[in-house]
Structure 1
Amino acid sequence: MSQPHANTGFVVPTWLSESLLKGTLRGIERESLRMQSDGYLSKQPHPPALGAALTHPHITTDYSEALLEFITPPHQSIQKALTDLADIHAVAHEHLPKGERLWPMSMPCMLDKEEQNIPLAQYGTSNIGRFKTLYRHGLAVRYGRRMQTIAGVHYNLSFSDALFEQLQQNEQDPALKNLSFQDYRSQRYFGLIRNFIRYTPMVIFLLGASPTVCGSFVLDREHDLQRLVAGALHLPYATALRMGKYGYQNSAQKQLGIRYDDLNGYLSGLEKAVKQPYEPFTKLGLDNAQGEPIQVNDHTLQIENEYYSLVRPKQTPQGNETPSQALKDRGVGYVELRSVDVDPYCAIGITEHSAAFLEVLALYCLLCPSPYISEQEQARIELNQANIVANGRADDATFDTGHGVMGVRDWLNQHLSQMQALAQMFDQSVDSTLYTDALALMNTRVQDPEQTLSAHVIKDMLEQGGTWALGAHLAEQHAKVYDKHELSLEKQHYFDDLVYMSKHQQRALEQSNLISFDEYLRRFRS
């Protein structure tokens, strides 16, 4: 069912109309560390005034107690999603412990020499809450705690069923045309995913904002980073170190070979990974000398969420469904674009232009031919990504297309040019110039890499005098934005109610424990 690779320029399908884009939905997840006034990671527990992290739908924690995660529901416009995200930031900021700020960058603030001082997220005494903390403990013994303090933005996106219906009606591949609608939509989303993996270097170059790391992040670790200023390390032409070898890596997953050919193949690969023991993790042991569990199991993945990827197929789980069960039952409902750095210059971590660019790129990925990714192409993709992460802004940076090597900026120009018509159609669907403005901004970054976010971070870090100095400066600016942000009375009541409801739900879970955690874990492991 793969399609031939097209060397010709992209042409917008004649059947595509702006009305088909009106049903596009987007939701945003933004992660942010809490930073103490001295620049170090917060040691304080999750603020009680924000409710229970286990059950709050919009304000939770990721790996660490100090790593907040803000989640919007899906919205019909970028502006509504960003307004929602701004509301959540303002609420969180209001209830931070005294002196704390939201750290504005993807790579972490200063970390203690002792990794154990990075606190694991705590979710109470229910079995599910203790399980979530144990999973994080497992990540710590497998990969170390420092790596888990990296933050990002996840952009969740779905296109309308009407668009997929038109796509199937005009499908040229008989095998695809005869699929059920659910299976066809899933197959097309997987085509989008394969192309997004191919074009992730665009996101890294244009939205990358992590060309530096604090020296405390790579403490006692070999690296080839260069000193920039006052404890800050960098590579001169780097774009997004978060997306390279200094970012979130999982060597155990390299040998999994999970493929994105179709939903069934993806799910079977994931199932194998969560059931298959991995010798290095077996050697770590399941429990410590006192008999306390230190990881959920010794499998390649403790649970499905441990699988790290640039983009994920998603379906909203119902009840106690796992993500895989939801996908198996109802197919792919949306995609989660996971390669986006936090924008340190934006108080909520992502601008409307970045969001609009991601949506145009996703539509481009959906509509372009998307052959299966061979092992040879996968190796080329990884080399291209590593090159743009470490050296993307260099004048002589190149990109291997598989049909020949070209300059990175030429490659970027080619695709941005071909995306222009899609941006215009998006504009028509919302009666604005947002999407073409977004592409124009991305074009300026290609024409002059000094206009990229990553170049600005290096320049400003030199001016401010280091990672903490720049981060603290921006965090203070953002704090003023949050202070000025006004919540409607209705929204204020909504968030107040969620504090009470989330705590009530957590207590109910804790009171409903019918078996001990030891038994709960034994059943999961077996």
Structure 2
Amino acid sequence: MAADNARLASMPNTTSSRTTDAFLHRLSVLTSGPQRDALLRGLRGIEKESLRVTHEGRLALTPHPRALGSALTHPSLTTDYSEALLELITPAEHDVALTLEKLDTLHRFVYAELGDEILWNNSMPGLLPDTDEGIPIANYGTSNIGKLKYVYRIGLALRYGRTMQCIAGIHYNYSLNEEVWRLLHADQQSTASAVDFQSERYLALIRNFRRTNWLLMYLFGASPALDRRFLRERKHTLETFDADTLYRPYATSLRMSDLGYSNTTAQAALHADYDTLPGYLNALAKAVSQPYPAYEAIGTQRDGEWVQINTNVLQIENEFYSTIRPKRVTHPGERPLHALAARGVQYVEVRCMDIDPFEPVGISLETSRFLDAYLLVCALDESAPLPPPAYCEANQNFARVTTEGRKPGLELTRDGNAIAMSEWADELFVKIDAAAAALDALHGGDAHARSVAVQRAKLADASLTPSARVLQTMRDKRQSFLQFGLEQSEAHAAHFRARPLEASVAKEFADLAAQSLEEQAKLEREEVGSFDAFVAAYRAYTLNRFSV
């Protein structure tokens, strides 16, 4: 690590390097004292979305397999937007290697129950139904909370269309142990409460992430192409790869470009305040309670049926699209905003990672180790406020890398000044190297340093990036995007089906599935009150329990 410190100290006095001393100091505080193992006790969880498809790559129109349990109540297997969009959720573990083992086990259980279907291991979907309305919305049963989840998704369809909701990704949940924050709180002699200090530091992490998350798009973006039919005749600026495939030659992640969630109309003007937790909560609370004319024109009901929870900018806070979210585990019936307001930020959810089509579970241990080093830099580095101009600059840099990140000589904007993406990335990698060395010193071995070295090589050679590898594979094999996605998904299906679970583990999963079905049935049996009254109470809870 001494060599990394020397490199940091020798960096020119740029905006980035001025934060170096604070970053190194915090890293030293956490790695040199008697509590140095606190950095080993953070938690990592992964959520992976995958469409169920046929062996032709068509979206499965079958119900969520009953053998997988209830999508409403199962802790690890649920659905996202569509009935066909599975979401696999791992427990949070101290070592991400164990997290990935759990994700592998979930896949093996799912494949034992999928019958003739497979999981589509790409972020952009394969063959969708001919019409947007043909995409089945996830069903959660007849309880009021189940109906609410369904109505919310009907509202999403009206606002953004169903097709866009079939884009899939990886969510990476990251936390540092509370002892880390206590050590830094004491070192900085902060006058804030322990809870407030922890929230402040997580928001600092988020601001640093927002400024530099374009780096993740370059390194890990894996969706440079899509099936032509996905656009449903919408206008676009993509180029033709073959008769069935559109692409951008230098794109890294069309999923995260303006073809995806980042260009939603009502949300386009929504500026989330990441400078303070009250500011963030107030911005979202306002969006959840502020009417939006186009949604008011639709109304909440059609022909006596609910079609959206409300007519506001956001139906619920989770509708807000962002590449990263501050999170707190909620109590039963508690809203995310209220949990954050009451108990502060507990972890962050990174939401911009594409599914890696070359990895059976969609993300590798190598990638995860890099994320841990990168996120540690975001957590410990100095973090200036993110006012509207900086917020917009960060969004523009991110968008530029999603659509042309591999373009030679690409320039981004930092603090209003042009800077070569490669130069900025080199500066970031010096700090990431230092974080990786610190993590390796604690863990033993050099796994983090090796992971960072693999990513650094992509800066010198763009052909090593997953987005370039996707396009090169398609060219070499003369495949359309659909053919490429299907071949990768079939190979991964064979990988999991060749490794069935031990009988005892399979029984544990079967028992958990049965238990979740009984929990849903119990909710439905014991339901009291009408759905109209339930929605009214839900909306009142939003407005009355949180001070805007």
| TM-score, normalising length: structure 1 | 0.96
User: How far has the Cα of 1:522 moved from its partner?
Assistant: 3.8
Alignment partner of 1:520 is 2:537? no
How does 1:42-57 map onto structure 2 within 5 Å? 42-57=60-75
Within a 5 Å distance, the mapping from 1:108-127 to structure 2 comes to 108-127=125-144
Equivalence for 1:470? 484
Query: Aligned residue for 2:433?
Result: 420
1:267 aligns with 2:281: yes
1:74-127, Cα deviation, whole Å (9 max, x unpaired): 1010110000000001111111142x1100100111112211110000011111
Corresponding position of 2:404: 391
Paired residues of 1:5 and 1:370 also in contact (CA < 8 A): no
Question: Structure 1 residue 505: deviation in Å?
Answer: 0.2
Return the alpha-carbon distance in structure 1 between the equivalents of residues 16 and 493 of structure 2: 48
Of 228, 232, 237, the match for 2:245: 232
Match of 1:253 in 2: 267
Other-structure match for 2:44: 26
Q: Distance in 2 between matches of 1:36 and 1:268?
A: 44
Structure 1: distance between partners of 2:392 and 2:135: 34
2:317 matches 1:300 = no
User: 2:41 matched to 1:41?
Assistant: no
**Does residue 62 of structure 1 match 2:72?**
no
| TM-score under structure 2 length normalisation | 0.92
Within a 5 Å distance, the mapping from 1:146-157 to structure 2 comes to 146-157=163-174
State the one-letter code of the partner of 2:42. T
Structure 2 residues without counterparts, runs of 5 or longer: 1-13, 541-548
Report 1:3-22 matches (<5 A). Answer: 7-8=17-18, 10-11=20-21, 12-13=24-25, 14-17=28-31, 18-22=36-40
Q: Distance in 2 between matches of 1:330 and 1:507?
A: 32
**C-alpha deviation, 1:33, in angstroms:** 0.5
State the 1:400 CA deviation: 1.2
CA distance in 2, matches of 1:291, 1:464: 51
Matched, 1:316 2:334: no
- Aligned-residue offset at 1:61: 0.2
Q: Which amino acid aligns with 2:103?
A: L
Q: Deviation digits for residues 228-279 of structure 1, max 9, x if unmatched?
A: 1241110000001111101113221122222111111111111111111111
Counterpart pick for 1:87 among 83, 90, 105: 105
Farther off after superposition, 403-412 or 451-460? 403-412
Mark the runs of 5 or more structure 1 residues left unpaired by the alignment: none
Q: Is contact 2:253-2:354 (8 Å) kept?
A: yes
Alpha carbons 1:26, 1:156 under 8 Å: kept: yes
CA distance in 1, matches of 2:99, 2:414: 35
Partner of 1:453: 466
SS in 2 for 1:349: coil
Could you say which residue in structure 2 is the equivalent of 1:170? 187
Matches within 5 A, 1:116-515: 116-171=133-188, 177-249=190-262, 250-288=264-302, 290-402=303-415, 404-462=417-475, 463-515=477-529
Q: Aligned partners of 1:87, 1:123: CA distance in 2, in Å?
A: 24
Output the amino acid matched with 1:452: T
Task: State the 1:517 CA deviation.
Answer: 1.8
* Aligned equivalents of 2:234, 2:520: Cα separation in 1: 39
Identity %: 38
**1:242 match: secondary structure:** coil
Contact 1:5/1:369 (<8 A) preserved: no
Q: Deviations over 1:469-524 (max 9, x none)?
A: 11110011101211133434443232111111000000001011111223323443
Residues 1:516 and 1:97: Cα distance change in structure 2 (over 3 Å): farther
Measure the CA separation in 1 of the matches of 2:321 and 2:54. Answer: 29
Distance 1:6 1:433 in 2: 26
CA distance in 1, matches of 2:280, 2:98: 33
Q: Which amino acid is the alignment partner of residue 519 of structure 1?
A: A
Retained in 2: the 8 A contact 1:191–1:370?
A: yes
Query: Which residue is 2:5 aligned to?
Result: none
For the 8 Å contact 2:65–2:113, the answer to whether it is kept is yes
CA contact (8 A) 1:33 1:41 kept: yes
Task: For 2:254, give the aligned amino acid.
Answer: L
The answer to whether the 8 Å contact 2:271/2:388 transfers is no
Contact 2:57 2:120 in 1 (8 A): no
CA contact (8 A) 1:237 1:390 kept: yes
Q: Relative to structure 2, which stretch is displaced further, 459-468 or 327-336?
A: 459-468
Alignment RMSD, CA only? Answer: 1.5
Aligned to 2:91: 73
Secondary structure at the residue paired with 1:357? helix
Q: Is the 8 A contact 1:9 1:418 kept in 2?
A: no
Q: Could you tell me which residue of structure 1 aligns to residue 7 of structure 2? A: none
Q: Which amino acid letter does the alignment assign opposite residue 481 of structure 1?
A: H
Residues 230, 465 of structure 1: 8 Å contact kept: no
Partners of 1:47 and 1:97 within 8 A in 2: no
CA distance in 1 between partners of 2:39 and 2:410 (Å) = 35
Contact conserved, 2:56 with 2:486, CA < 8 A, in 1?
A: no
Q: Determine the C-alpha separation between the residues in 2 that align with 1:488 and 1:181.
A: 45
Task: Count residues with an aligned counterpart.
Answer: 517
SS in 2 for 1:156: strand
Q: Cα deviation per residue 1:308-359 (whole Å; 9 max; x = unaligned)?
A: 1111111111121111111111111101011111111101010011111111
Q: CA deviation at 1:423?
A: 0.1
CA shift, 1:464, in A, is 4.4
